[in-house]
Each structure stands twice: as C-alpha cells, then as structure tokens.
Amino acid sequence: MKESVVIIGGGIAGLEAASQLLALGLSPVIVEKSDHLGGHVAEWYRLFPDLSPAQDLVTHLVSSTSGARIYLETEISRINALKDGYSATLNNGDVLFCKAVLVCTGFHLFDAAKKEEYGYGIYNSVITNRDLEHWFGGLEDARIPDNPRAVGFVHCVGSRDVKAGNTQCSKVCCMTAIKQAIEMKEKFPEAEVYCFYMDLRLFGKKYEDFYISAQRDYGIHFIRGRVSEVSEDIDGRLLVKAEDTLSGKPLKVRLDLLVLMAGMVCSPQTGRIASMVRAEVDDDGFLRSRDNIYSIVESGRKGIFFAGACTGTKTIPETVAEARAAALSAFRYIKEKA
C-alpha cells in the first residue's frame, strides 16, 4: 500500500502539494473545510501581474490532483501521534492513518469592519478587495455605482497596523490595488482613481513596470498617506480624509466608491490545528517554522510540514514553490524512515 500524507486545506498550497506527492508515488488526502477547492484564489477573478484568470490556475491544479482522495466540507477533529505516523479523526467519523501531515491552512482575510473609521458595513459604497473581485467575476453588488466619477483604494487595511493587531505586511495588497485600479479604470475610463498608500512594496518580477504603467498609461493617482477617516456627505458621497505626506498637507477627496485592501491575517483554524499537532504559533499568529531561511516548510516536529500562508503572508508563486518544497520534504522524510 502507498504511504499516505494528510493535507489540511485544499487551497492552492494543498492542491499543488497533493499533485507533487502523487507524482512522487505517495497517496495524499486533502481535507478541506469549505465546499470548494482552490481557497481564496478560487474567489479571485484575475491575477497580477499578467491579469491571467485565476480560474485557469485553480482548474489546472484541481485536474492534476484527480488521483488524490479529497474530503470537502470536512474538518479535522483530532490528530493523534502514533509510533510511526499520525492518525487524523475527521468530523464525519473517518479516521485517516498517515506518515506525515502537511498543514496548508492558509490565511484569513482581515475583517475590514474592524477598521470602523473606514466605514465598511456602515457606508453604502465602501467595499473590500474581495467584494470587488466577486463583482469582476460577475456577482451583483449594489454598493458599486453604475458610473462612478471617483474611486479610491486604501492600501494596508489591517496590515502593518498595530491598532488592528497585525504588524505584518500582507505583501500582495499593493499589487492587487494597482491591478484592481487598472481594471476599474478599464471599466470606467472617465473615473478618477486614487490609491492611498503608506509606501509601495513592489518587489516581484514585473511589479514595478505594472505600477509605472498604472500611472503612465492609466492615469491613476497615487497619494502617499494613510486615510484617517471616511464620512458620508449629504448626497451620500464618501468624503475621505487623508494626509498627503509628500506635500505635507491634509487632503479631502470625494469618492463614489472606496475599496479597502484588506490584508492577510492568520486563519482562526490555524491555532486549533497547531495545538493538535503541537506546532508552535509565532507571535504574529502564524505558525512558526523551524527556521525562517532554510526550513520554512518544516515544523520542528517529526512528520509535520507547512506550506503556504499558514506560516506568513505569501504571494501565489511563493505558495506554489513552498508546496512543492513541502511535498519533497515530506517524501524524503517518509523514504528515510522506511
């Protein structure tokens, strides 16, 4: 019988790891709590920097894991350490025996309502990056006006924010904001589009070009300064107050739509899983890797591996690369034991 690996979470990390483990001749089992595979990426419409459809990636990953056992709408209720592996009890009663566990629980999108001063859930035309992706994907959204004259994007909502309890950078929001700003500009060429940022972190391949194009080709306004508060005027338009820290002046802008770039925070399930496999949780709430340079996918506990955003904020390419690394590490671990 093939050696089995339980993968917790069926996002892109779990899917990619499963496909690699299949190729390596192991038998992965994916346990996914929601009703679909692909995680957050499956909810996204297009991906930066090439504006490629997110669905293509998810479809490819799902098709390459057709040989794996997959549980949907299932959660792990208990994990026990055995002599040479683990047994995972599912909430449907099934018990899975495996040689290794791969934690791919990912992240949770920051609840933008917690930054009450931005008015999410209070004002009609304040939405999040995810709401906007849903709308791009064809879902109706009454909050998005038919013909907005001005649209704003607030970077770092719940990221790099001690007040919100998250000090980490979410890495992807700068680029997502630029991408969504461009997409909005494509949809509404007459609208003025503003991005309010602290500083732009454009570290990846083609990111900087993307940003320059947003300014040069699309005329998107980038304003350096955090938004302090949002209010609604009598006509129901949003009044955004910020400080333009480049000119050193306070600034007020009237907008018809405000998009909050909600950041990545650790998923609430992560802590539960961590205590089951007795992995450590770091002070940022994400899982603690054995070290942060060479062994990010290893937990420090035998047979427990990590991949993707459960150990910190990650881009898609990083997540996919980590999933492969984790699959290989798990494979080597099992072979060396045998």
Partner 1 sequence: MRERIPSGFDPFVLPFLIGIGFVLLYCLLAAMRVLWQCPREDRRRFFLSLITPTTALRNLWDIFANCLIHVKLWKRNKLLGFMHSSIAFGWFMIILLGHLEVFLFVPHRLNLFYYPIFFNYFVAETDTSLRGAFLFFLMDFFLLLILIGIALAIIKRVRSRLFGMRRTTRLSFLDTVGLYSLWLIFPLRLLAESFTASISGGSFLVKPLNWLLEAVLGSQFLLNPANNLPTWWAYSIVLGIFMVVLPFTRYMHIPTEMMLIPMRNAGLRIRHARRGYALLEVYSCPGCGVCIDACPMSVKKANIKDCTVYLNRQIRRGNERRIEEISDKCLLCGKCTEVCQVGVEGPALRIFQRARRQYAVNPDYAAVNVAPPESAGKVLYFGGCMTALTPSIGRSMESVLGKLGIDYTWMDRDGGICCGRPMLQAGRFPQAAEMVRKNTELIKASGADTLLLSCPICYKMFRDHYKLPGIRVVHHTQYFEELRRSGVLKLSKSDLCYAYHDPCELGRGCGVYEEPRTLLGSAAYIVEAEKNRGESICCGGSLGSLSLGFQQREAMTRRALENLTVAGPDAIATACPLCRSTFARYSSIPVRDIAEVVDLSL
CB-wise, 46 or 115, nearer to partner 1? 115
Q: How far is the CB of 259 from partner 1 (least distance, A)?
A: 17
Q: How far is the CB of 122 from partner 1 (least distance, A)?
A: 5
Residues in the chain: 338
Largest CA distance in the chain: 72
**Strand, helix or coil at 158?**
coil
* Contact between residue 100 and residue 215 where contact means Cβ atoms under 8 Å apart: no
Between CA 11 and CA 283 the distance in angstroms is 24
Q: How far is the CB of 250 from partner 1 (least distance, A)?
A: 9
For 156, 177, 221, 261, 301, the CA distances from 197, given in Å and listed in that order, are 7, 10, 11, 10, 40
For 44, 181, 244, the CA distances from 258, given in Å and listed in that order, are 19, 11, 17
User: Which residues contact partner 1 (rule: CB under 8 A)?
Assistant: 114, 116-117, 119, 122-123, 162-165, 229-233, 239, 241, 252
Give alpha helix (H) positions in 24-172: 54-64, 129-136
The closest alpha carbon to 260, from 140, 146, 138, 161, belongs to 161
Q: How far is the CB of 123 from partner 1 (least distance, A)?
A: 7
CB-wise, 55 or 124, nearer to partner 1? 124
**Strand, helix or coil at 304?**
strand
CB-wise, 64 or 231, nearer to partner 1? 231
Q: How far is the CB of 278 from partner 1 (least distance, A)?
A: 25
Tell me, what amino acid is at 241? K
CB-wise, 97 or 123, nearer to partner 1? 123
Q: How far is the CB of 249 from partner 1 (least distance, A)?
A: 11
The closest alpha carbon to 264, from 30, 11, 6, belongs to 11
CB-wise, 156 or 174, nearer to partner 1? 156
CB-wise, 95 or 122, nearer to partner 1? 122
